């Protein structure tokens, strides 16, 4: 009996899925050599969240026809989520930007122009801004979704060429507090371990993260660990909201927003009181510090600082469902398990005291020695696919040069200038504007030309209305590089169409320090080009406009390289071989050839090809796992905390008090508002909103309201409600659900409709250290407007 | 035409019942399940809109914890998009160009 092609593909689908769980099916694929599902399979990383899932795009006759996971990948083991599966629809979408578009004034319609003219205009406008208003009147705002090569090259041209440190990226909005937490607790950015600890952990503490929706494929690993060891593995979920993640928890701790800092101090109190701490680990590796000047204190002072956080006191502060016994139980599980893993995301980071909240998680690990051993780690989940690799590591934040080098260090600036072959002194000595300051500077007409790459701040900034107004002004020239129209391209003078994922070659570095390559598989539509080509060509014109040959020097090593592979490879080689050499994120072993040969990628540090081919460093700071733990060793202890930010090479346990949110509820605005993502949509939905299946699943935002609050307000399921803060108001349909704690509402933030854009309401106060805004907590009031109303989903077009 | 291969994870104690419910959904074939709660399913639909709707239907089953995608083939649909026969700009139906 012949097997039809359809049957063949169905069997392929079944066999692929079955292979992931070791299930034998009563059929196989053989004797069907003539029936193929694709001509070739091209390997890459998913375009969306920070999990780093590996997949293969099936290509037939030059077009994408299929997708499958990579089962040998140590991130996703072959699994994908539906968002990741459906991204091929973005490639073929009719609204893809095909040609450069320009308008002199923002109230004019866009006109199609050619690339030469577009790049000339971009160069002329930036040059004029420099001549009239100075170098710091220019700025670059990038993204944790740009490939590392793109971020690296943009920041090289801006810093070394234009001589401004006004280089920022949207990871400021999501990961900056995690950076600050790692730097101040461990002396170096990014996690010590990675996903491999999930399957070895016996206590998993998930706080401020709905990973079931935000990182579903990694959540699957946590879920599997629990299901396979129901009695031995404990899951603690700490969140003011009951979310899909809570379903697998042995204990869900629900508390008033922001009081998790008191909760964690209370857990520390129990650990100290019941002598559950690891004295040897603390003696060998830790010191206690307090205050702005990081004064060293002793354990007695730390213990004294926790006296305000007995479980009984903490329970009164936290409210919710927590009891003193819950806190004691959680602390005991945490401290005594064979390996405890903490996982968190925006609930901890997007806070006025986000760095402190991160410190408090790290404190628990340091107190109990739950670090550096199998199953033990404090693992900040990254929101975006390349916030780590591109922005944190590649020099995409205003205060950090490539290789985690603080810009304020003359010695380190000189290292970068020497590596680039440009005169010392080109890179300015002070950090540029951080994100909120950058867009405030646009408002104040201090920034006159801004390049926004692969991001939509006109929707994603908190308290977005005044910042969008600034971008709409004709006093600032706005260039956007993107694949679709967004709320931000509505504010642009010049829109440059870019190649999408798999339409260009480049790398992403995910949550667990793992850099992975995506190779170009198909051509970009129309005249869309890769960003690395765009930056190179623009820089050459800029150099002529400003009569500054050093700008051209910044791209000189990349001249004559074809844009699909040679050009990004040359950029990657310069970055890894020259800029990461000797740094903690040493990636010299992770050449393109090495990355392509691997199912997944390479965890840094990986200073040699030989080491990179093993997969790199699974556990930082651990001798035998981390080559730098040998080269940087200061004694014979098994762990070497060589992070550059701590001169004493110790871990720092911080005395951090509970501090409430910047804006707490009051009589006028009596409810907490928090916001977050939903599984079907990615960020501003400029991509997922254009995939009919995903938009249909969640065509617009809604707000979750606790049933008790809903009853008090007279709100029924589906009713339209107004959510108002001191900054603005929006309307959404209500979902009455036992999700958010009583006194809090939770809204999804992906909707770009003006009436439902929740960032109009959010607070733009930010952490004084990390400068990350407090998206997660502000005060609001909610009132019922009407019964259910038919709503239309909205995705912006070119002219808004 | 999209054909997708999925691993549905159910609470192990309810896997047989969940497999039965999944198999009852139109366009879904269940190829096996095991004691760990894994269910291997193939969804074969006319369009990816129906496929996503079925995934949502499966996710909504009470004892289902996750639905993991392993494989997707959508050649016919992509051909139609490229040829212009299918326009994917409408969320609630995919327009046919006549």
The DSSP H or E segment spanning A514 is strand A514-518
- pLDDT number for residue A32: 47
CB contact under 8 A, A58 and B12: no
The interface predicted TM-score of the complex, written ipTM, equals 0.92
CB contact under 8 A, B7 and A17: yes
**Same domain, yes or no: A212 and A343:** yes
Place of tokens 């139609």: B80
Q: Residue A794: inside a domain, yes or no?
A: no
At CA A389, angle to CA A386 and CA A395, rounded to 5? 110
- CATH label of the domain that carries residue A75: 2.20.25.90
Q: Residue A394: inside a domain, yes or no?
A: no
Express each pLDDT in A755-787 by its tens digit.
Answer: 999 999 999 999 999 999 999 999 999 999 999
In the listed set A600, A624, A655, which residue is the last one of a domain according to the structure? A655
Express each pLDDT in A238-262 by its tens digit.
Answer: 999 999 999 999 999 999 999 999 9
- Please give the DSSP secondary-structure letter assigned to residue A578: I
Please give, rounded to a whole number of angstroms, the shortest distance from the CA of A358 to a CA of chain B: 28
pTM for this prediction: 0.95
**Is the pLDDT confidence value at A553 over 90?**
yes
**Is the pLDDT confidence value at A1 over 80?**
no
For chain A, the domain total comes to 5
Q: Which domain holds residue A196?
A: 176-381+643-655
What is the phi/psi pair of residue A740, to 5°? -70, 150
Handedness of CA A630, A632, A637, A643 (dihedral sign): negative
Considering only residues 774 to 793 of chain A, which have any Cβ-Cβ distance to chain B shorter than 8 Å? 793
> Strand locations in A25-130, DSSP E?
40-45, 54-60, 63-69, 101-102, 111-112
Q: Residue A573: inside a domain, yes or no?
A: no
- pLDDT number for residue A30: 57
Tell me which chain B residue has its CA closest to the CA of residue A688.
Answer: B91
**What six digits make up the tokens of A401?**
């040069």
Asked if the C-beta of A93 comes within 8 angstroms of chain B's C-beta atoms, the answer is yes
Task: Kindly report the CATH class assigned to B3-73.
Answer: alpha beta
- CATH label of the domain that carries residue A320: 3.40.228.10
Please give, rounded to a whole number of angstroms, the shortest distance from the CA of B25 to a CA of chain A: 17
**Same domain, yes or no: A151 and A165:** yes
pLDDT category at B82 given cuts 50, 70, 90 is confident
Q: Residue A370: inside a domain, yes or no?
A: yes
CB contact under 8 A, A223 and B31: no
Best interface-test mutation with B: which of A53, A64, A217, A692 has the largest number of B CBs within 10 A? A692
**Same domain, yes or no: A342 and A421:** no
* Range of weakest confidence among A129-138, A338-347, B36-45, B73-82: B73-82
Q: Mention every residue, 6+ apart, whose C-beta is less than 8 A from residue B66.
A: A212, A216, A219, A220, A223, B8, B9
In the listed set A623, A655, A687, which residue is the last one of a domain according to the structure? A655
CB contact under 8 A, B71 and A217: no
Contact between A513 and A193 under an 8 Å Cβ cutoff? The reply is no
Q: Residue A32: inside a domain, yes or no?
A: yes
CB contact under 8 A, B65 and A696: no
Residue A81: its chain B contacts at CB < 8 A?
Answer: 68-69
Among A270, A260, A275, A252, residue whose Cα is nearest residue A204:
A252
Indicate the pairing of strand A494-497 with strand A477-482: parallel
How far, in Å, CA of B54 to CA of B43, rounded?
Answer: 8
- pLDDT number for residue A29: 64
Smallest Cβ–Cβ distance between B4 and the set A13, A212, A219 belongs to: A13
How far, in Å, CA of A351 to CA of A784, rounded?
Answer: 28
CB contact under 8 A, B52 and A92: no
Smallest Cβ–Cβ distance between B5 and the set A17, A88, A92 belongs to: A17
Smallest Cβ–Cβ distance between B73 and the set A9, A223, A693 belongs to: A9
**Is the pLDDT confidence value at A605 over 90?**
yes
Q: Residue A764: inside a domain, yes or no?
A: yes
Percent of chain A scored above 70 by pLDDT? 98
Asked if the C-beta of B53 comes within 8 angstroms of chain A's C-beta atoms, the answer is yes
The DSSP H or E segment spanning B55 is helix B48-59
How far, in Å, CA of A142 to CA of A454, rounded?
Answer: 6
CB contact under 8 A, A10 and B88: no
* Range of weakest confidence among A88-102, A209-223, A311-325, B82-96: B82-96
Give the C-alpha distances (Å, rounded to integers) separating A483 from A48, A81, A749: 14, 22, 21
Please give, rounded to a whole number of angstroms, the shortest distance from the CA of B54 to a CA of chain A: 11
Please give, rounded to a whole number of angstroms, the shortest distance from the CA of B98 to a CA of chain A: 17
Considering only residues 55 to 84 of chain B, which have any Cβ-Cβ distance to chain A shorter than 8 Å? 55-56, 65-75, 78-79, 81-82
Q: Where are the domains of chain B?
A: 3-73
- Please give the DSSP secondary-structure letter assigned to residue A676: E
Smallest Cβ–Cβ distance between A17 and the set B37, B71, B82 belongs to: B71
Express each pLDDT in A94-125 by its tens digit.
Answer: 899 999 999 999 999 999 999 999 999 999 99
pLDDT category at B80 given cuts 50, 70, 90 is confident
In the listed set A91, A111, A141, which residue is the last one of a domain according to the structure? A91
CB contact under 8 A, A17 and B55: no
At CA A253, angle to CA A703 and CA A341, rounded to 5? 110
**What six digits make up the tokens of A784?**
């019922």
**Same domain, yes or no: A418 and A544:** yes
**Same domain, yes or no: A144 and A252:** no
Percent of chain B scored above 70 by pLDDT? 90
Tell me, letter by letter, the H, E, C secondary structure of A370-431.
CCCCCCCEEEECCCCCCHHHHHHHHCCECCEECCCEECCCHHHHHHHHHHHCCCCCCCCCCC
CB contact under 8 A, B78 and A63: yes
Higher-pLDDT residue of A361 and A24 is A361
**Same domain, yes or no: A168 and A239:** no
**Same domain, yes or no: A613 and A556:** no
**Same domain, yes or no: A168 and A274:** no
Express each pLDDT in A479-530 by its tens digit.
Answer: 999 999 999 999 999 999 999 999 999 999 999 999 999 999 999 999 999 9
- CATH label of the domain that carries residue A512: 3.40.50.740
- pLDDT number for residue B90: 55
């Amino acid at each position: 009996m012949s097997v039809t092609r359809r049957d063949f593909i169905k069997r392929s689908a079944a066999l692929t899925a079955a292979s992931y769980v070791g299930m034998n099916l009563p059929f196989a694929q053989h004797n069907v050599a003539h029936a193929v599902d694709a001509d070739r399979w091209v390997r890459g990383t998913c375009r969306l969240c920070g999990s780093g899932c590996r997949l293969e795009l099936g290509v037939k006759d030059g077009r994408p026809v299929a997708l499958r996971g990579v089962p040998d990948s140590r991130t996703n083991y072959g699994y994908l989520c539906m968002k990741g599966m459906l991204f091929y629809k973005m490639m073929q979408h009719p609204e893809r930007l095909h040609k450069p578009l320009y308008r002199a004034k923002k109230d004019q319609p866009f006109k199609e122009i050619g690339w030469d003219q577009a790049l000339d205009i971009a160069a002329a406008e930036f040059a004029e801004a420099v001549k009239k208003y100075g170098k710091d009147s220019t700025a670059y705002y990038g993204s944790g979704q740009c490939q590392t090569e793109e971020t690296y090259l943009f920041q090289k041209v801006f810093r070394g060429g234009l001589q401004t440190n006004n280089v920022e990226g949207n990871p400021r909005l999501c990961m900056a507090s995690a950076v600050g937490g790692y730097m101040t607790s461990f002396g170096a950015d990014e996690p010590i371990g990675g996903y491999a600890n999930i399957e070895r952990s016996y206590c998993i503490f998930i706080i401020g993260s709905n990973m079931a929706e935000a990182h579903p494929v990694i959540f699957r690993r946590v879920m599997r660990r629990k299901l396979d060891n129901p009695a031995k593995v404990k899951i603690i979920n700490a969140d003011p909201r009951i979310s899909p993640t809570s379903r697998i928890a042995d204990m869900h701790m629900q508390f008033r927003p922001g009081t998790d800092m008191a909760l964690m101090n209370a857990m520390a109190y129990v650990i100290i009181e019941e002598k559950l701490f690891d004295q040897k680990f603390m003696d060998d590796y830790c010191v206690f510090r307090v205050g702005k000047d990081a004064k060293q204190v002793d354990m007695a002072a730390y213990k004294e600082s926790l006296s305000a956080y007995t479980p009984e006191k903490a329970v009164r502060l936290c409210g919710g469902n927590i009891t003193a016994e819950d806190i004691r139980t959680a602390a005991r599980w945490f401290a005594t398990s064979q390996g405890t893993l903490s996982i968190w995301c925006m609930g901890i980071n997007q806070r006025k005291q986000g760095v402190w909240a991160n410190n408090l998680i790290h404190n628990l690990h340091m107190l109990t020695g739950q670090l550096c051993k199998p199953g033990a780690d404090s693992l900040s989940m990254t929101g975006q696919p390349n916030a780590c690799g591109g922005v944190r590591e590649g020099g995409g934040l205003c205060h950090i040069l490539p290789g985690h080098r603080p810009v304020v260090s003359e010695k380190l600036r000189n290292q970068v200038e020497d590596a680039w072959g440009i005169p010392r002194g080109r890179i300015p000595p002070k950090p540029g504007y951080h994100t909120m300051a950058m867009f405030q500077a646009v408002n104040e007409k201090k920034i006159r030309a801004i390049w926004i790459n692969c991001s939509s701040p006109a929707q994603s900034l908190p308290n977005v209305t005044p910042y969008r107004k600034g971008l709409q002004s004709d006093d600032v020239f706005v260039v956007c590089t993107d694949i679709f129209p967004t709320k931000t391209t509505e504010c642009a003078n010049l829109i440059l169409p870019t190649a999408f994922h798999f339409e260009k070659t480049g790398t992403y570095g995910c949550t667990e320090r793992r850099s992975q390559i995506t190779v170009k598989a198909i051509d970009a539509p129309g005249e869309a080009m890769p960003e690395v080509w765009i930056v190179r060509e623009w820089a050459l014109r800029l150099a002529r406009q400003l009569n500054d040959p050093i700008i051209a020097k910044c791209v000189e090593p990349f001249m004559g390289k074809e844009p699909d592979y040679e050009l990004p490879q040359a950029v990657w080689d310069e970055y890894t071989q020259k800029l990461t050499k000797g740094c903690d994120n040493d990636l010299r072993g992770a050449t393109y050839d090495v990355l392509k040969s691997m199912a997944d990628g390479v965890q840094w540090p990986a200073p040699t090809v030989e080491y990179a081919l093993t997969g790199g460093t699974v556990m930082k700071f651990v001798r035998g796992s981390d080559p730098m733990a040998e080269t940087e060793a200061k004694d014979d202890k098994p762990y070497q905390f060589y992070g550059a930010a701590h001169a004493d090479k110790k871990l720092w346990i911080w005395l951090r008090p509970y501090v409430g949110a910047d804006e707490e509820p009051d009589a006028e605005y009596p409810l907490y508002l928090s916001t977050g993502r939903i599984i079907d949509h990615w960020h501003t939905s400029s991509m997922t909103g254009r995939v009919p299946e995903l938009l249909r699943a969640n065509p617009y935002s809604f707000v979750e309201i606790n049933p008790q609050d809903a009853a008090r307000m007279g709100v029924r399921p589906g009713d339209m409600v107004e959510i108002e803060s001191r900054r603005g108001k929006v309307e959404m349909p209500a979902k009455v659900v036992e999700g958010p704690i009583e006194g809090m509402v939770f809204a999804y933030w992906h909707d770009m409709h003006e009436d439902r854009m929740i960032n109009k309401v959010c607070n733009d106060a930010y952490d004084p250290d990390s400068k990350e805004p407090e998206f997660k907590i502000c005060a609001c009031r909610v009132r019922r407007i009407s019964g259910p109303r038919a709503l239309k989903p909205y995705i912006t077009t070119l002219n808004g | 035409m999209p054909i997708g291969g999925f691993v549905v994870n159910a609470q192990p104690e309810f896997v047989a019942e969940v497999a039965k419910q999944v198999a009852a959904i139109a366009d879904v074939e269940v190829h096996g399940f095991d004691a760990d709660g894994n269910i291997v399913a193939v969804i074969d639909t006319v369009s990816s809109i129906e496929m996503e709707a079925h995934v949502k239907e499966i996710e909504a089953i009470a004892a289902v914890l996750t639905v993991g995608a392993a494989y997707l083939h959508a050649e016919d649909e992509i051909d139609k998009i490229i040829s212009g026969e299918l326009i994917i700009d409408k969320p609630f139906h995919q327009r046919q160009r006549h």
